[in-house]
């Protein structure tokens, strides 16, 4: 694969976009540049693009909005040297021809985000547009995009482990509870308000474990690596994923890779990614309670379905698809 290629990342540590960007860079042997300040930068994908003025620490949206001012000098240098792939629609394109983009979702439009709207209008002119699900592809076509290629992300570093009791001991998790896991950030579409309400309806036989957020009365983990996250998936009994909208949904695919049963909201993306391997429930407490009962009574069935579905996110398949796609456009 060509070495004169640059991946531009806008995702902070632990985000799906950050993971996606690093994976593309690894597969394509491309230089990876990151334009977002991340205070938890012990692990940070790629070269941090130095801005002409200090970055606005901790303010994600302002760094995106003033990207062309903050990084003008370095961006000009990158655009002059490399074929550029923008790893997210959140990045304002600084070149017009000979480049490509991955549009992960159109969620910003639904929230009235003018930055995303302007970016997507620019990306409509690109001939090389990738996305991560058929659901997003359909939305892009409805917006006027002409050529969009779907490549479902591949998942690596996640796999089944035995000795759940030992894992719980290692992670200081209770041995005598049904452990429900949620992996997400705190954005409104992750629906943590619903999750909190749902959890309050459960008895003491259940315990909620969260990664990336804390809703109270739960056990939480933050800023962890994949090895620990894989242990957490394997230590728990089910993933609960009540998002109102997603472009893809890495936690669902990661859970499948470990054989962890999944209880998720019945949205278009999860119908595509999960199919019948996950229990998809309407965003109603009673329906989620019914789903939890079904999973708890049929854990082996849902575990087997998860592992079978995980083949869709095989790393070698993903690597081959990515290599073939970029070989055809560069």
Q: Which of 100-114, 210-224, 260-274 reaches the highest mean pLDDT?
A: 260-274
- pLDDT for residue 1: 45
Contact 239, 229 (CB under 8 A): no
- For the domain spanning 164-313, the CATH number is 3.40.50.2000
Domain ranges of the chain: 5-154+315-329, 164-313
CB 101 within 8 A of CB 93: yes
**DSSP helix/strand/coil, 128:** strand
Helices and strands, number each (H, E), in the chain? 15, 13
| Residue pair 186/192 in contact by the 8 Å Cβ criterion | yes
Pairing state between β 178-183 and 100-103: unpaired
CB 60 within 8 A of CB 12: yes
Residues forming beta bridges with residue 279, ordered by sequence position: 263
Give how far the C-alpha of residue 285 lies from the chain's centroid of Cα atoms, to the nearest Å: 25
pLDDT > 70 in the chain, percent: 85
pLDDT averaged over every residue in the chain: 88
Rounded distance, CA 262 to CA 299, Å?
10
CATH number of 5-154+315-329: 3.40.50.2000
Does 164-313 match 5-154+315-329 at the fold level? yes
Considering only CA atoms, which of 293, 212, 210, 309 is closest in space to residue 259?
A: 309
pLDDT at 293 over 80: yes
pLDDT digits (tens, 9 = 90+) for 107-134: 877 777 888 898 899 999 999 999 999 9
Phi, psi of 223 (to 5 degrees): 55, 55
Q: What is the pLDDT of residue 152?
A: 97
CA 126 to chain centre: 23
Q: Coil, strand or helix: which one is 210?
A: strand
pLDDT band at 37 (very low <50, low <70, confident <90, very high): low
């Amino acid at each position: 694969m060509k070495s004169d290629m640059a991946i531009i990342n806008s995702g902070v540590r632990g985000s799906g976009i950050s993971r996606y960007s690093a994976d593309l860079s690894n597969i394509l042997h491309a230089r990876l540049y990151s334009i977002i300040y991340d205070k938890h930068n012990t692990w940070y994908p790629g070269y941090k693009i130095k801005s002409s003025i200090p970055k606005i620490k901790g303010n994600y949206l302002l760094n995106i909005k003033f990207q062309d001012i903050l990084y003008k000098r370095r961006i000009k240098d990158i655009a002059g040297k490399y074929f550029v792939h923008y790893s997210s629609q959140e990045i304002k394109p600084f070149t017009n021809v000979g480049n490509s983009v991955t549009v992960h979702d159109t969620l910003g439009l639904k929230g009235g985000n003018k930055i995303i709207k302007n970016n997507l209008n620019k990306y409509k002119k690109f001939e090389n547009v990738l996305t991560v699900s058929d659901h997003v592809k359909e939305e892009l076509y409805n917006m006027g995009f002409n050529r969009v290629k779907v490549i479902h992300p591949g998942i690596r570093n996640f796999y089944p482990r035995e000795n759940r009791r030992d894992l719980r001991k290692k992670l200081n998790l209770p041995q005598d509870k049904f452990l429900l896991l949620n992996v997400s950030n705190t954005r409104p579409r992750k629906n943590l308000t619903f999750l909190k309400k749902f959890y309050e309806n459960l008895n003491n036989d259940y315990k909620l474990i969260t990664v990336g957020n804390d809703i109270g009365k739960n056990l939480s983990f933050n800023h962890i690596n994949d090895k620990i996250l894989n242990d957490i998936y394997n230590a728990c009994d089910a993933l609960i994923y009540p998002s109102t909208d997603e472009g893809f949904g890495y936690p669902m695919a990661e859970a499948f890779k470990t054989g962890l049963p999944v209880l998720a909201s019945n949205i278009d993306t999860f119908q595509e990614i999960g199919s019948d391997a996950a229990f998809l429930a309407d965003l109603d407490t009673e329906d989620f309670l019914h789903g939890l009962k079904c999973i708890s009574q049929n854990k082996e069935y849902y575990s087997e379905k998860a592992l079978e579905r995980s083949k869709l996110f095989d790393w070698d398949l993903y690597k081959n698809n990515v290599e073939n796609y970029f070989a055809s456009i560069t």
